[in-house]
Structure 1
Amino acid sequence: MKLRCAVLDDYQSVASTAADWSPVTGEVDVVCFADHCANEDELVSRLAEFDIVVTLRERVPFPATLIERLPRLRLIVASGMRNASIDHAAAERHGITVCGTASAATPPVELTWALLLGLARGIVTETNALREGGPWQSTVGADLHGRRLGILGLGKIGSRVAAVGLAFGMDVVAWSTNLTQERADEAGVGLAASKEELMETSDFVSVHLVLGERTRGLLGAKELGLMKPGSYLVNTSRAAIVDQDALLDVLRRGAIAGAGVDVFDVEPLPAGHPMRSAPRLLATPHLGYVSQANYAAYYGHAVEDIRAYLDGAPVRRLG
């Protein structure tokens, strides 16, 4: 009897065509789901008859409580080589192999700049006005050249965002708890003396940190309150790094000029979620990693991971 593989949250219905699944379809029935399961009971009902699950990023948590209710599950393939939403210890206890895939840093870099430029030049406002017969020119764009870009986190993504900022002629500074002067010098950017200094002096702030105990809630009401009235915040990293209530508050009060957000505390966003109607907000539905090349890598490596597991030699193991 064939094994069964569930591909979760295939919102665009592209998983089956983004890669060649033929290396495994002789032994595995692959079923793609375009909708999202909102709770654990729904997931248990959906996955009870599956041996393999392919999940994108951290869309679907796999805590111990879920893993314990899926006795048939034997392999989880998660895109990327890090996934904090999977209880790896529980997976190991239940004999479940967890594997990852390659993931490019360039798509989230590009989306970061799409949001930042969209905010700075009022693209959505102007496009809507043009299409709807509104005023001809109603905003005055914020210049990038000579303005300060503050980057929280100078890793693979943050350093590439910094390079683009430098190309625009921006004054780029960075900060994180472990960032050294040597690393800042390598990237050609300034080292902010503190998180507070970065927030106070930057015209644009972009978040590129890994979510963890030290970064959860890193930007709260105090930090956001330090930002200039004409400044912008962009977060394509993780929603929990920025206090969502505090962000909504500064947007509603006009305490900052705007924010570009690609990540949310609940995904997909419920219909009545306040982020759907917040003023001064340019929001996208977690598109940072959604690109043709990245999907080809995710699903292509998922096929490789499944094939290797079937052959008794798992690759790219996580845990």
Structure 2
Amino acid sequence: MRALFLGGFAASVAPRILAKVKTPLATEILADERDAARLVPLLADADIVVGHIWRAAFPAAPRMRLLQSVAAGLDQVDLAAVPKGVTLCNVFGHESAIAEYVIMTMLVLTHRLFDTVRTFRAGSWSAHQPAGGSPHGEMLGRTVGILGYGRIGREVAKRAVGFGCKVIAANRSLIADPAPAEEVFPLAELDRMLPQCDALVIAAGLAPETRGLIDAHRLALMKPTALLVNIARAAIVDEEALYAALRDGRLAGAALDVWWQTWSGAHPDVRPSRFPFHELPSALMTPHCSGFTEGTADRRWSAVAG
């Protein structure tokens, strides 16, 4: 059995995966999938390809039986180009880490933590009650709406309930057992859910039904005191509409871990959006790292090693 680790990310994690493999396995590593001179013979001999990229332009892989992604999303896999008879698998294990991130960011935004720390470090007691400070919020009693009630959505729900929140959700398919959510709306009734939300957590997959789903109309349905947390895919939210809502104070805050423009080796300094979210104090920004923990890595590479 011969495995090919294909692409920069797969090449970087290959040692950790191979350390967990218990059966003999011949391996090759190709970090640059654009290296056609090496790619042709390596794919010709590979029984297993480990990597999150597959393109129609790739050369033939007649022996391949398994395409094992090293990511949860399959955005960079051309599904129509995967050879017939090849099993395509992805990885999970990031649900707990992302759910913790969601709760953390909601706490930070609700308690205005960054503003308080910044002003106090600068010497101001303005957040102190006797100094005239105004009270900040808390999560107890808030309604958290979750768009996409799958693995991540349910983990968020468990933790939100632990903070005394009411949880409701919207999902593309029917949910037989919605607990701990009190109600799961069909996607067609999302407009009925949004006005109830003190926080909207986007945890849905990107599909034709969800692309651009949270647009200017739906953002306007939300309370001006509401928060939005997106750990799914940026394209689910209208970029300009979200920026305008935050800029104009029509939405209290947003935590964004996914972006409309993303890092690449060719463009390492690219801004994550066409709009200056980084100038908005109500925007908490992170570079798609919410699930990037040691625990996630260990669970994923154990699953790949199988």
> How much does 1:43 deviate?
4.8
Pairwise mapping of residues 123-142 of structure 1 onto structure 2 (< 5 A)?
A: 123-131=113-121, 133-136=122-125, 138=127, 140-142=135-137
Aligned equivalents of 2:91 and 2:146: distance in 1? Answer: 27
Pairwise mapping of residues 250-269 of structure 1 onto structure 2 (< 5 A)?
A: 250-268=245-263
What is the aligned partner in structure 1 of residue 289 from structure 2?
287
- 1:80–1:103: 8 Å Cα contact kept in structure 2? no
Alignment counterpart, residue 302 of structure 1, candidates 297, 301, 304: 304
Alignment counterpart, residue 116 of structure 1, candidates 99, 106, 122: 106
What is the aligned partner in structure 1 of residue 219 from structure 2?
224
* Per-residue Cα deviation, 1:33-83 (whole angstroms, up to 9, x for no partner): 6xxxxxxxx852489535475435xxx5x342xxx2445795642135762
- 1:260–1:281: 8 Å Cα contact kept in structure 2? yes
What is the aligned partner in structure 2 of residue 183 from structure 1?
177
> How much does 1:146 deviate?
1.4
| Distance 1:17-1:81 versus aligned 2 partners, 3 A rule | closer
| Distance 1:144-1:69 versus aligned 2 partners, 3 A rule | same
| Distance 1:201-1:301 versus aligned 2 partners, 3 A rule | closer
- The one-letter amino acid paired with 2:193 is L
What is the aligned partner in structure 1 of residue 69 from structure 2?
78
| CA RMSD in angstroms, aligned pairs only | 3.4
SS at match of 1:233: strand
Gaps of 5+ in 1: 34-41, 305-319
What is the aligned partner in structure 2 of residue 87 from structure 1?
78
Aligned equivalents of 1:46 and 1:231: distance in 2? Answer: 50
| Distance 1:243-1:227 versus aligned 2 partners, 3 A rule | same
Alignment counterpart, residue 55 of structure 1, candidates 51, 57, 71: 51
Of residues 99-108 and 241-250 in structure 1, the stretch that sits farther from structure 2 once superposed is 99-108
Return structure 1 stretches of 4+ with deviation > 6 angstroms.
none
Pairwise mapping of residues 18-33 of structure 1 onto structure 2 (< 5 A)?
A: 20=19, 27-30=26-29
SS at match of 2:259: coil
Of residues 100-109 and 281-290 in structure 1, the stretch that sits farther from structure 2 once superposed is 100-109
Aligned equivalents of 1:140 and 1:165: distance in 2? Answer: 22
| Distance 1:44-1:170 versus aligned 2 partners, 3 A rule | same
Aligned equivalents of 2:172 and 2:90: distance in 1? Answer: 28
Aligned equivalents of 2:24 and 2:135: distance in 1? Answer: 55
Percentage of matched positions with identical amino acids: 25
> How much does 1:257 deviate?
0.7
What is the aligned partner in structure 1 of residue 206 from structure 2?
211
Q: Which is bigger in relative contact order (C-alpha 8 A, separation at least 6)?
A: 1
* Per-residue Cα deviation, 1:240-279 (whole angstroms, up to 9, x for no partner): 1111121111112121111011111222285333355241
SS at match of 1:251: helix
- 2:161–2:180: 8 Å Cα contact kept in structure 1? no
- 2:246–2:283: 8 Å Cα contact kept in structure 1? yes
Aligned equivalents of 1:192 and 1:149: distance in 2? Answer: 13
| Distance 1:146-1:301 versus aligned 2 partners, 3 A rule | closer
Aligned equivalents of 2:21 and 2:170: distance in 1? Answer: 46
SS at match of 2:201: strand
Aligned equivalents of 1:18 and 1:136: distance in 2? Answer: 51
- 1:6–1:47: 8 Å Cα contact kept in structure 2? no
> How much does 1:147 deviate?
1.8
- 2:168–2:183: 8 Å Cα contact kept in structure 1? yes
Aligned equivalents of 2:185 and 2:60: distance in 1? Answer: 50
* Per-residue Cα deviation, 1:192-248 (whole angstroms, up to 9, x for no partner): 583122221211111121221111111101001111111100111111111112111
What is the aligned partner in structure 1 of residue 96 from structure 2?
106
